[in-house]
Each structure stands twice: as C-alpha cells, then as structure tokens.
Amino acid sequence: MRLILLIILINHPVTSQIVNVESKRMRTDTTGWSGSAELNFQFIKVEDAVYDFGSKIHFQYKQTRSLWLFLNEFRLIKAEGRDFVNSGFAHLRYNYKVIKFLRWEVFVQLQYNDALNVGLRGLTGTGPRFKFYDSDYFRIYAGTLYMFEYIHNNNRTIFERNHRNSGYNYISFTIDINKVDFTSTAYYQPKLTDFKDYLLYSQSKLTFEITDRLDFVTEFLIRYDSNPFPDIPKKSYNLNNGLLFSF
C-alpha cells in the first residue's frame, strides 16, 4: 500500500504554497480565448482501496493591451480511510501592457493544502512585470509585487495577516527549440515586517510535443519556508510527470 501511494505522490506536487503563474502563461499573438484542461482519476485495489482524483483548468482572455488569466487546480488522494493529499487553489490575474517592456498586474488567490496544514491562504497583490528579452527561442522576465496574505491552519488555532515584499518576486527564463520547451522560475517572498520570515520556491518545467495538442510534461519543484506551521518541514521537493491537452 505505501509503495503504491509513493508512486502516486511522486507524480504530483503537494507541498507548495506558491503558485508558479509564469509556467502557466500561454504565449499567443491572437486576441480572444485560449485555455487547457486536465482531468484524471485512478482507482487501485490491493488490500485497501486508493482513490486519486485531480483536475486542472487554465483559461485566458487576451485583448490588445489587456490579459485576463484564470487558474484552478485540485487534487485528492484517499486511502485507508483518510486523505493523504487534499489540496487546491483558484487564481485570477489581470495584466495590462503599459509600454513594450512593462506590464502592470493585479491578482487574487485562494488555496488550501492539508499536507502543509494550511486551512486557507488568501492573497491579493499588485505590481510591475518586466520583459528583459523576448525572442522565438529565449525569454527572460522579472517582477516584484506587493502582496497581502491571510492564512490560518486547518484547526483554525493559528491566524496570520502579513504584508510581504512582493507576492511574486521572480526571475523567469524560457528556452523553446524544436518543439521542446524549458522554463525555470524562482520566487522569493519575504515578510515586510520581518525579512527572516520568507518563502523560497523554484520550479523547472520541461515540455515535449507529442502532437499539435498533446504534450508530455515533467516538472521539478523545490520549496523552503523559513517559518512553517508547527510539525511541517521547512524544505520539500517534488517531481511531477503528466500529459497536457491544449485547445
């Protein structure tokens, strides 16, 4: 049973509080709607039943100078009468093109994660996003945002309201050659009132095109929280593999 659960958990990042929006932006020159959706379900029965359900939804609407982005993800793994994974988030972001190399962004986000003892984490923030270099094969972006954070643990015994020095203070680069796409993003989120309290997060994503609308995706994530909830480790790693259908 534990081996089966380990195999399932390896294929899903369950320990992150930070949503990597950079890896989910769609590169398109046309206006209008675009998006992707994933839905998966596994049932395994050896001694006990293991249920694994997950979904990902990504929509964006592009206008001449504006971009709306909506993300929603959910994952539940249940076995031996209890939840091994129960996490999800919803993210809405507005991006406005000020000049060629500068966008201004506003976002709101709600999430929960039982593995991190996060009952609810609510975020809202705003700030600039800079485009340093953009070609067909290589891109570099960076940004810094002010973010207000509200968070409490599962049993609602710990509440925090924090002002963080940028919700998404990141550097991101992408290499896209011969239907192979590599993206790496790093985030640093310190608390404004105490810079010793911070979150670090790095995600690298490699995508291989199988067909025009189907890709194989592998991701590696590293997370560090200098001040997590009690009994939650400061550092964690994840490896995730899967298929992505786009339309």
Three-class SS state of 4? helix
C-alpha separations of 77 from 43, 71, 184, 186, 221 in Å: 10, 21, 28, 28, 20
d(CA 132, CA 22): 14
Strand partners for 211: none
Is the model's pLDDT at 21 over the cut of 80? no
Which amino acid type is present at position 80?
E
Q: How far is CA 200 from the centre of its chain?
A: 13
* Nearest CA-CA partner of 117 in 143, 152, 93, 88: 152
Whether the CB-CB separation of 40 and 56 falls below 8 Å is answered with no
Whether the CB-CB separation of 119 and 156 falls below 8 Å is answered with yes
Is the model's pLDDT at 42 over the cut of 50? yes
| Tokens coding 199 | 């979150």
d(CA 109, CA 120): 10
| Tokens coding 187 | 């985030």
What is the per-residue pLDDT across 174-226, written as a single tens digit (0 to 9) for each? 777 777 888 888 888 999 999 999 999 888 888 888 888 888 988 898 999 99
d(CA 214, CA 164): 38
Residue 8 confidence (pLDDT): 44
CATH superfamily for domain 2-245: monomeric porin ompg (2.40.160.40)
d(CA 89, CA 37): 15
What is the per-residue pLDDT across 92-112, written as a single tens digit (0 to 9) for each? 999 999 999 999 999 999 999
In the chain, where are the structural domains located?
2-245
pLDDT (mean) for 167-171: 52
Residue by residue, DSSP assigns 88-151 as EEEEEEEEEEEETTEEEEEEEEEEEEGGGTEEEEEEEEEEEEEEEEE-SSEEEEEE--EEEEEE
Is the model's pLDDT at 3 over the cut of 70? no
